[in-house]
Structure 1
Amino acid sequence: MLLRKSPAVFILAASFAACIAQTSSPSPNQPGDTTQTTNTQGVNQGYTFRAESRVVLTDVTVTDAKGNPVHGLPQSAFHIFDNKKPQVVSSFEEHSHTPVAAIVPAAAHGDYSNDFLLHLPPVLNVLVIDIVNLNITDQMYLYYELTRFIKQMPEGQSLAVYLRPGTNTVLLQNFTPDRNLLLAAVHKAIPRFPPHGREYLSDLDTLRQISLSLSQYPGRKNLIWFSGGSTLFLRPDASSFQDAAAMRAIYDELEQDRIAVYPIDARGLTISAGPAQWQQHMLMNDVATATGGHAFYNTNGLLEAAGQILDSSGSFYTLTYSPHDFRFNNKWHNIRIAVEGDAYHLSYRSGYFADGAVSGAEPTGKKRTHILVGGDRLEEDPDLRSQPIIFQARVLPSSDPSIAALPKATAVLPPPEAKKGTVPFSIRYTLPVNAFTKSTTDSKTQIVLGVGAFAFNRDGSPVAREAVRITMTLNAESLRLHPDAPFLVDEQLNLVKGDETLYLSVWDMTNGRLGTLQIPLEVPKPSKVKDEAAKN
């Protein structure tokens, strides 16, 4: 599936762009290396030519009157309507189970990789703990229910855990079947006091952040969102801030990334509910219906609700079709699906925007031609662009003795200014040269990439950031002899004591291909780091 987003990671798109604009490329580290860095200003900007075509993909969950998944339905039983016009199903696939993901562990202490992306199942389940509108009592009950839920999960079931403590949504645990790690993430998340000024926080921002974070993962994603409802309705003037067009745009982004939202009201069964809570539940229904999920509220069975989502998460049908007489006119298209037979309950996405930048707009395998400023042509393989860049990173305190034994880096980025009370961390990127677009100018083969690191504290507030644009001139002979050889980039980041979430990103600045790593870190006290260094 093609990604329509520009190079970005999570909520950091604007920040990365600003940081890159203010940072120059590093100087060469070794003249004889496979890769060399040079200072060049700017990169050729191109234009993309598109055909007026669109392939629409939708996942459909079919359940019976008791909520059990329905299996074995043939393609002929499904009927799709786009803006009330019947369509022809181009492809059809039934998913009846969820294979266990082979999550690859870190090879050594401090080593991380996103190569688990190569071993993902067709369905990913994501747990979001949103404490913005949950009081401590409700959080304690959620703590109890989630602990039971994780302990009773099917063996080998993978899950990722995110926390929304305020403005930002942060990763606490990446996809893993390890129940101990998942329990530790939940117990780290709650309980905690809700933020001040929560009525001014935006659910749109939360969904956009999650969409950006999960866009690197292929296949269907189920978002199990525990919350106390939207804080928008805590405001007396809530009606004036409801933006239907903005919500529909977010639904379109979620549709592109195949994210189905399952809101669960963690406040449980409520005896007396007022207009604000009714509106919260209506919004939960809207989000679920628009994305192909299901909303759960007015129930104390939080464990049962989450378990029902997991039980049916791997049972769905994937259909594609090409709308007749399609035009990129930025108008909303409603989707309706009907299934022959019994009175089934269907969950699927409600529609999409014909905005000219949608996934599936170009047939698989068809290359896109960019016309560069100088008149040269660059052929881009859309299937390659949609695949994440797989890379490794070693993240350790700079005082760690093992760093001195590492091979010499191809490029060393300028370290940030030292600050009192911080702990310098060393980041060693191992990047595959064949993952980046090569261009030849004046007989020189070059690649242009971006490298960035952002750190957030336990409350989701940024504490450090470093990003740089790098232009590398490749040694033609070394490249011929070792086309798969990686190159090494060193970066340093000053972190503070406390729970940290580290976001690492590398991207091809020619075609927008992206790779990210999200790493939960424990940063020690500066004095402890010095003591450990002295012992070694």
Structure 2
Amino acid sequence: MRLVISGRRLVCGTLLLPVLCGGAWGQRRGGAPAGGGIRTAPTTVRDPGAAYGLDTGTTPLYSSNGQVRHAEDEGKVEFRSETVLIEVPTGVTDRSGRPVTGLTKDDFKIYENGAEQKITAFEEISAKSTNRIDLSGKVNANTYTNLTAAAQQSPQTVVMVAIDSVNTPFLDQAYGRKQLIKFLAQRLTPGQPVEIVSIGQRGLRSISGLTYDSQTLIAALKKVSGETPALQGLGPDAQASVAAAPLSPSGLLASAASPAPLDGSASDLTSRLQQFVDQGEVLEAAYLQSNAIETTMQSFLSLAWSVSGIPERKALIWATAGFPFFIDSPSAIPAGNLGPLYERTMQALNDAEISVYPVDVRGLVNYSPNAQPDSVAPSTGPQQTRQIINRSWLQTSQIGTLNDFAEMTGGRAFYNSNDVAGGFRKAVAEASSYYLLGYYLNTHNDRAGWRKLKVTVNKKDLQARARSGFLVTNATLNPERTHVTDEGFALRSPFDSTAIPLTVQVGATTPQGDKKKIEFAYHMPVSGITIQEGSHNEFNLDFITEARSNNQPAGHSAQVAHGVLTPEALAKIKSDGIYFRNSLELPPGQYQVRCLVRDNVSGRIGTVSAPVTVN
């Protein structure tokens, strides 16, 4: 390989290759070096805390005309590749709901927007491996990984349970945890790996890591306390008004700017004062609802990336009371900074083969104003009628949205039942056996929007369940559109990303003035990296090493490695993997270091976290 300039070393198998480490490099995103070789250059990442709107104040839920945006409003999509494989995990059950096995490719038909597609990939998956898997951890004294070899090869259905305190009333959270303990104590299949997390005001956190022991899960759950959701202090009527009349805050203010004249009566004055109070609650509810969408989507994105390197299907059981975003159609997208986050999250769920199973932990719901403990004294006349209509609409839309969201990911919603534990049990059973169908997307159709999917089985009395479709937008199909925000989010995520299996060795420290230089050796199998073998074996990778102390930035190093490989070098890295060396200079102290690699062709990311002490 011809190299541009010497400096740091990129190691391909046992072949050491110099790479750039400083100076003026011109454009960061240049083409591959002419005549072959590797080009590397330092790269920068904006404040990762700003990723996906984390640095914003009020993020609008709706467009300027007060309506929800839709994917088709984007117009056209720029495809980065001529071949896009659409994979569709499909479960098949008989009339009794039992999984059906032994079917062939010829037994299935798949349709996109009503047009039959040619099935080019087919596999029957039975998640019955007995190998124990581990997501991440310490390999030895100074080596860390995000995905063990067993996790990369074991066909097991991983079950994740997300306890949602952002969108669930406080009292219902306790009931949901009780029902989850009941399910774990009686129904957990032996050898079933389960992880429990919580979604709260401060984001996603782990309650119990991936484990096969139900008693460990139960013990961790018993230590969890509830959290008052942000919307808890607002009356259900304010929440219903926001959902039933999806206006932007400016629109809500405009509607209150010209009230009808007072008639002078005491009752009219009281009514007007109540309307003034209600209007303030509606505006606050709109703001808090926006925050709830952001927190929920960030949590789902972190979860998806954390298990994306584990093969086969995963089930995400979402213990919640509702979705914070009203979906009037599958193509609905929040406006403003929330849009790319929502689109990226939906794509990440699909890429990781995650089916979401929302379980409404409220059980049976009575939406009458008189049945709510936090209701203001019941009104009479038109105001009472409006309360009942809005609350009824809110309950109906919440259930409808949970159904739509579940179907968009290939899952199923469970609601209006006090047997919440039964919902948990059915969700796990559905995800245990399935078929993986695949077809190539027609990239000549560059119109943005929602592509509706339908899978049928050519056998009597059998039912196929697959995701109802997928979004075709620039954020979902063009990884360059979210390049910076993806890296920033991965660096700040509470969990490591596993789309690229990565192992990092923390090297020795050497004095560097009043600081010390610490070396980090990356290693990844070539299976996680895109080598464009039809384009002179071209590859394009970002490497970032970042240290934080007391949750504050302490050190940062970032480079891009872009080049082409000779046939001999390609064969070598296919055998031995890719190695990369980077370093940080840090003063004495305790640090949490996160190492990141991003494949700039596919957008896949792998990260590894390691504690580092500098004496």
For the aligned pair, the TM-score class normalised by the smaller chain equals 0.5 to 0.7
Q: For 1:268, what is the secondary structure of its paired residue?
A: coil
Pairwise CA distance, 1:259: 2.1
Deviates more, 1:506-515 or 1:65-74: 506-515
Match of 2:91 in 1: 61
Counterparts of residues 6-85 of structure 1 (less than 5 Å):
38-40=21-23, 44-46=28-30, 50-85=80-115
What is the distance in 2 between the residues matched to 1:493 and 1:161?
Answer: 37
Using the alignment, how far apart are the partners of 1:188 and 1:41 within structure 2? Answer: 54
Q: Which amino acid aligns with 2:421?
A: L
> Within 5 Å, which residues of 2 pair with 1:461-500?
463-466=551-554, 468-470=556-558, 489=583
Match of 2:358 in 1: 263
Measure, in 2, the Cα distance between the counterparts of 1:148 and 1:109: 39
Shift of 1:343: 3.8
User: Secondary structure at the residue paired with 2:83?
Assistant: coil
Query: What does residue range 93-492 of structure 1 map to in structure 2 within 5 Å?
Result: 93-104=123-134, 106-107=138-139, 112-116=144-148, 117-152=151-186, 153-166=188-201, 168-195=203-230, 198-203=288-293, 205-215=295-305, 216-217=308-309, 218-231=311-324, 244-246=332-334, 249=343, 251-272=346-367, 274-323=392-441, 326-355=444-473, 388-392=500-504, 408-409=508-509, 430-432=521-523, 449-452=543-546, 463-466=551-554, 468-470=556-558, 489=583
Instruction: Give how far 1:60 is off.
Output: 0.9
Q: Offset of 1:88 from its aligned partner?
A: 1.8
1:160 shift after superposition = 2.2
Summarize deviations over 1:94-146 as a string: whole Å, max 9, x none.
12334245234645689753133434435322111101233343222222222
Residues in 1 aligned to 2:228 and 2:589: alpha-carbon distance in whole angstroms:
24
What CA distance in whole angstroms lies between the structure 1 residues aligned with 2:184 and 2:587? 34
Pair 1:330–1:411, CA change in 2 (3 A): farther
Can you list the C-alpha shifts for 1:73-92, whole angstroms capped at 9, x where unaligned?
A: 23222111122111221122
CA distance in 1, matches of 2:510, 2:598: 17
Q: CA deviation at 1:242?
A: 11
Do the aligned residues in 2 keep the contact of 1:128 with 1:224 (CA within 8 Å)? yes
Partner of 1:507: 597
Partner of 1:443: none
Q: In the superposition, relative to structure 1, how do residues 159 and 491 fare at CA in structure 2: closer, same or farther (>3 Å)?
A: farther
CA contact (8 A) 2:508 2:519 kept: no
Does residue 1:88 correspond to 2:118, yes or no? yes
**Matched residue of 2:408: which SS?**
helix
Provide the rounded CA distance (Å) in 2 between the counterparts of 1:356 and 1:244.
Answer: 15
Alpha-carbon displacement from aligned partner over 1:186-222 (angstroms, at most 9, x marks no partner): 3444323334665443336523542344234343222
Going from structure 1 to structure 2, the CA distance change for 1:483 and 1:133 (only over 3 Å counts) comes to closer
**Sequence identity percentage:** 22
Between the aligned partners of 1:493 and 1:164, the Cα distance in structure 2 is 35
Aligned to 1:289, the other structure's residue is in SS state helix
Aligned-partner residue type, residue 162 of structure 2: V
1:435-462 CA distance string (max 9 Å, x none):
7999xxxxxxx9962013569xxxxxx9
Kindly tell me the number of residue pairs found equivalent between the two proteins. Answer: 420
Retained in 2: the 8 A contact 1:389–1:513?
no
Counterparts of 1:321 and 1:472, CA distance in 2: 33
Alpha-carbon separation, structure 1, partners of 2:154 and 2:541:
29
The residue aligned with 1:16 is none
1:186 aligned counterpart, secondary structure: helix
CA distance in 2 between partners of 1:180 and 1:344 (Å) = 37
Q: Secondary structure, in 3 states, of the residue corresponding to 2:508? A: coil
User: 1-side partners of 2:95 and 2:406: how far apart?
Assistant: 19
Q: Which amino acid aligns with 2:323?
A: S
Distance 1:518 1:313 in 2: 30
State how far apart, in whole Å, the 2-side matches of 1:493 and 1:165 are: 34
Deviation at 1:281, TM superposition (A): 0.7
Query: Which structure 2 segments of 5+ residues have no match?
Result: 1-6, 10-15, 33-78, 232-284, 369-391, 479-496, 532-539, 562-568
Give yes or no for contact 1:34–1:487 (8 Å, CA) kept in 2. Answer: no
In 1, distance between residues paired with 2:356 and 2:93?
17
> Tell me, what secondary structure is at the counterpart of 1:352?
strand
Aligned amino acid, residue 313 of structure 2: R
Q: In the superposition, relative to structure 1, how do residues 212 and 288 fare at CA in structure 2: closer, same or farther (>3 Å)?
A: same
- Name the CA shift for 1:313/1:508 in 2 (closer, same or farther; >3 Å): closer
**Runs (5+) with no aligned partner, structure 1:** 1-25, 362-384, 395-406, 417-425, 439-445, 456-461, 474-478, 522-528
Post-superposition offset of 1:491: 7.9
Q: Secondary structure at the match of 2:333?
A: helix
How far apart are residue 351 of structure 1 and its match? 1.9
Contact 2:595 2:607 in 1 (8 A): yes
Cα offsets for 1:385-444 (capped at 9, x unmatched): 9951422478xxxxxxxxxxxx6237989989xxxxxxxxx9995522887999xxxxxx
Q: CA RMSD in A?
A: 4.9
- Rate the CA distance shift 1:349–1:448 in 2: closer, same or farther, 3 A: closer
In structure 2, the CA distance between the partners of 1:518 and 1:124, relative to structure 1 (3 Å rule), is farther
Cα distance in 1 for partners of 2:586, 2:94 equals 55
Shift of 1:257: 3.3
- The separation in 2 between residues aligned to 1:245 and 1:143, in whole angstroms, is 31
Relative to the length of structure 1, the TM-score reads 0.63
SS in 1 for 2:195: strand
Q: Is the 8 A contact 1:264 1:302 kept in 2?
A: yes
1:201–1:86: structure 2 CA closer, same or farther, 3 Å change rule?
same
**CA pair 430-314 structure 1, distance change in 2 beyond 3 A:** farther
State the shift of 1:344 in Å.
Answer: 3.4
Equivalent pair of 1:38/1:472 in contact (CA under 8 Å): no
Relative to structure 1, the CA distance from residue 142 to residue 410 in structure 2 (aligned partners, 3 Å threshold; closer, same or farther) is farther
Which protein is bigger by CA-based radius of gyration? 2
Q: Which has the higher helix share?
A: 2
**1:323-351 CA distance string (max 9 Å, x none):** 56743332432212211223433321222
SS at match of 1:308: helix
CA contact (8 A) 1:391 1:429 kept: no
